[in-house]
Amino acid sequence: MSPDPALFSPPPTELRRTSLEQRLQALEPDLVGDPVGAVDTARALEEEARDLGALELLGAAQCLRAGALFYQTRYAEAREVYAQVLQLGQPGDPLHCASARARALGGLAGIYAALGENTESLTHYAESASLAQRCGDMGGWRRAMTNLGLMHLRFRDHSEALRIFEELAPVTRAAGAAAHASNVQAHLVMIYSDLGHHEHATHLAAAYLAEPEFRPFTLHLLSVQLFLARSRFALGDVGPARDLLGEVRARSDEGARRGQPAHELRLRLRQTEGEFAWQGGDLAGAERALTEALAQAQAHRLEAEESELHAQLAGVLEARGDLRAANRHLRRQVDLERDLHRTSTEHRVRLSQMQAQLSALEREMAHARYQADHDALTGLLGRAAFQREGERRLRAYPGEHGALLFLDLDGFKALNDRDGHAAGDHLLEQLAGRLRAQLGPEDLVARLAGDEFTVLLTPLPSPSDALAAAHRLRLTIREPFDLAALAARPALVTSSIGVVWARNGTLTVPQLLRQADRAMYGAKTRGKDTAVLHVAQASGEAPS
């Protein structure tokens, strides 16, 4: 029999959708590296998503465009685009385009944070995290936790920020989220440097700079180099630290000429240059650099940074003998610290509430995922979870062989008609327990629907092993089922089992299920209570 093309070739629309998803993912680094070009690319991807009628992908493309606008400090335009994404929701369907809407909420939170509107920022981050959790968007969840860490940094709670980023570091790497992993690692370098753990900051920075996958993220890279320079300077490695700072300055100026936004990076850069000048005895240069950094902090409403810069300028001016000017800066620092203490206390309470809310949602999401993945009656995997876990299991044993069994009970409908559905349900619960008892910890078993079950066994060396496993299950199913008070006598059922044995990776789980289903009907035509084996070829031929 000739191969069935439907087993191998996705429809053209699905191919276009997959291609679009890949290009959206590939655009992520350009939000930071080339935000101007990313805007035009995102617009083109939006049109393609509209043409496909793929609203979730349209929302993803719009979020990328808004993100690129954000990195150009075009906040009003970015806010308008994010608002369009939020309109993708539909009444009565709270999870419609939920992943894109969660990202839009997070984007709006970032705009509010950049404008100093911290209460609005926290509220939107909480809503973003909640929606991401409810729709199972773990990437959105990771973004929300990252932003939570950034808010802790804004309120100078370095220890809590460090805890969050340390937890995120292995998670983002395991997820293969390069942009997110780069962001987390860059902030870890910054935090350790700011906390005075300069040797560890240097070690982390060296590891970051050695990662080829982080090179496209220019702003993260410059941030790591900046804090590496600060830590080297603190460790007495003054010459290389100054050289590295010069490199960061040159690349930052180049980025500014290309319209690349990085106001916080440039602020810290000028601050660092001022600190280096102060330590080197160049008080005039230190005052100039720190004054420029102060102007940037005030322009972007970064009050914590402004307070620190007032203190540093007071020290420089005192060293220059300008006590009146030094006193003005100290008075302004005192006023800022008073305001920061009040708002920091308020926001820390809000952050604690938000974290408690997120923890509760995480527990709810885990429970919801379990319910979604498992059959409510038997506790076995459902179809979707079986296919997902089955694909993962096949990938875990490349080049090995495995078998998929499709089981259908014989006579189950008659039992239901005779003894009632409660008796049938009790039998299915017992059957699930028998199947589990016959299988190993690496084997997968699921209830597909009604009285249909499936089992995946891998690795399995030979077709005869696959058939022997099917017959063991068939014989255990033939044993009488005690239905207690639900039936007058023990119930007897048999099973027809279709078996497909194939090399892992030759066929997908849905293809294996279809072939095993056909083999199962072959068992039915042979009188039931038997198993039929099909050895799949690389071509994916259906059983004849």
- The catalytic position among 137, 194, 451, 529 is 451
Which residues on neighbouring strands pair with residue 502, listed in sequence order?
402
Pairing relationship of beta strands 401-410 and 452-457 according to DSSP bridges: antiparallel
Distances (CA, A) of 86 to 134, 140, 540: 16, 15, 44
- Would you call the peptide bond into 212 cis, given omega within 30 degrees of 0 as the criterion? no
Tokens 């993220």 -> residue: 217
3-state secondary structure 502-537: EECCCCCHHHHHHHHHHHHHHHHHCCCCCEEEEECC
Token pair of 10 as six digits: 């996705």
Q: CB of 272 within 8 A of CB of 230?
A: yes
Pairing relationship of beta strands 401-410 and 531-535 according to DSSP bridges: unpaired
Number of H helices, E strands in the chain: 22, 5
Tokens 């790497």 -> residue: 173
Q: Provide the b/e sequence for 378-413 (b: ≥16 CB within 10 Å).
A: bebbbbebbbebbeebbeeeeeebbbbbbbbbbbbe
Query: How many other CB atoms sit within 10 Å of the CB of residue 541?
Result: 16
Among this protein's residues, is 157 annotated catalytic? no
Backbone angles phi, psi at 116, to 5 degrees: 80, 10
Report DSSP letters for 50-82, one per residue. HHHT-HHHHHHHHHHHHHHHHTTT-HHHHHHHH
Q: CB of 127 within 8 A of CB of 94?
A: no
Distances (CA, A) of 345 to 147, 302, 314, 529: 19, 17, 26, 71
Angle between helices 98-114 and 118-134 (to 10 degrees): 160
Return the pLDDT at 8.
37
Domains of the chain in sequence order = 383-535 (3.30.70.270)
Tokens 């290309």 -> residue: 258
Measure the CA–CA gap between 520 and 532, rounded to whole angstroms.
Answer: 7
Query: How many other CB atoms sit within 10 Å of the CB of residue 17?
Result: 19
Q: Which residues lie below 8 Å from residue 143, measured CB to CB, with a gap of 6+? A: 103, 106, 128, 132, 180
Token pair of 510 as six digits: 């849905």
**HSE (side-chain half, CA atoms, 13 Å) at 218:** 21
The pLDDT profile of the chain, 544 residues, written as one tens digit per residue, is 344 444 334 456 778 888 888 899 888 878 877 888 999 999 999 999 998 888 889 999 999 999 999 988 899 999 999 999 988 866 666 667 888 898 899 899 889 888 877 778 877 887 887 788 777 787 887 887 888 788 778 777 788 889 889 888 888 887 777 888 899 999 999 999 999 999 999 999 999 999 888 888 888 999 999 999 999 999 999 999 999 999 999 988 877 666 555 778 889 999 999 999 999 999 999 999 999 999 998 988 888 889 889 999 999 999 999 988 888 898 888 888 887 777 666 656 655 665 665 566 556 656 767 887 889 899 999 988 898 889 888 888 888 999 999 999 998 988 888 888 888 999 999 999 999 999 988 899 999 989 999 999 988 889 999 999 999 999 999 999 988 767 667 888 999 999 999 998 888 899 999 999 999 999 999 999 999 999 886 544 444 3
Return the pLDDT at 350.
58
Q: How far is CA 386 from the centre of its chain?
A: 22
* Entry pTM: 0.55
3-state secondary structure 435-447: HHHHCCCCCEEEE
